[in-house]
Amino acid sequence: MWNMNCVVALLLACSATQAFVPTALRQPAAAFRPLFAEGPGKKPEGKTDVVYKFGGSSLADKDRIDHVANLIKDQIALGYRPRAVVCSAMGKTTNSLYSAGEFALEGRVNVDAIRTLHTSTMEHFDMPQHVKDEVNGLLSECEDLLNGVRLIQELSLKSLDQLVSYGERCSVRIMAARLNQIGVPANSFDAWEVGVLTDSKFGDAKILPKAEEICAKEFNRL
């Protein structure tokens, strides 16, 4: 049973799935419409299920994170029911990760700016320690990956896909935590945790047909 007070913060980590909204999420609902489909501040006719997608500029810093979280809360109050909130990486994090990969090939590893952006945002909102630990753990994984690239002097498409995923994986956890802080129950998920499966063509992966059915089962379970 769908709880209108619960937001599922769904991360679509790889580029091929960025705009993927499963048919399974569309069919049961009376309607799925874009954010502000009725116009800002207007109530929908009846209960309207929606999927929200926020890009990097919308999540650029702590102020934008807070703005988006409260925007979602306001939309729920108007009668919209988020089935999923899809988050890009904060600000220019994805570009920074691409650059970090290039620098690692040159023998330099430095993710200080990326780490500072995320940790300062979490500190500003005094987020729970488990959220800080999870995000910092992902950033440490990212740094370990870059050190591996530095040592072997190779950045495969598979490793590059993994590298750039860390931005979205961090931002979705921060967004879910902020929603919980303002009274909107939310959980964060990586794409593969809710059945978004792709082929193995790294750098240009495509959604597998069976992902539709798996996503439907996972969302019904949630």
pLDDT means over runs of 10, the chain (222 residues):
40 38 36 43 71 93 97 93 92 97 97 97 98 98 98 97 95 96 93 90 92 87 78
Q: How many of the other CB atoms lie within 10 Å of CB of 58?
A: 17
Measured between alpha carbons, how far is 202 from 181 in angstroms, rounded to an integer? Answer: 36
Hey, which bits of the chain come out as E strands?
7-10, 48-54, 80-87, 186-189
Q: Give me the pLDDT at residue 107, please.
A: 97
Q: Give me the pLDDT at residue 97, please.
A: 97
Length of the chain: 222
Q: Give me the pLDDT at residue 218, please.
A: 86
Q: How many of the other CB atoms lie within 10 Å of CB of 124?
A: 13
Q: How many of the other CB atoms lie within 10 Å of CB of 147?
A: 12
In this structure, what token pair is assigned to residue 89? 């990486």
Nearest to 9 by CA among 185, 193, 188: 188
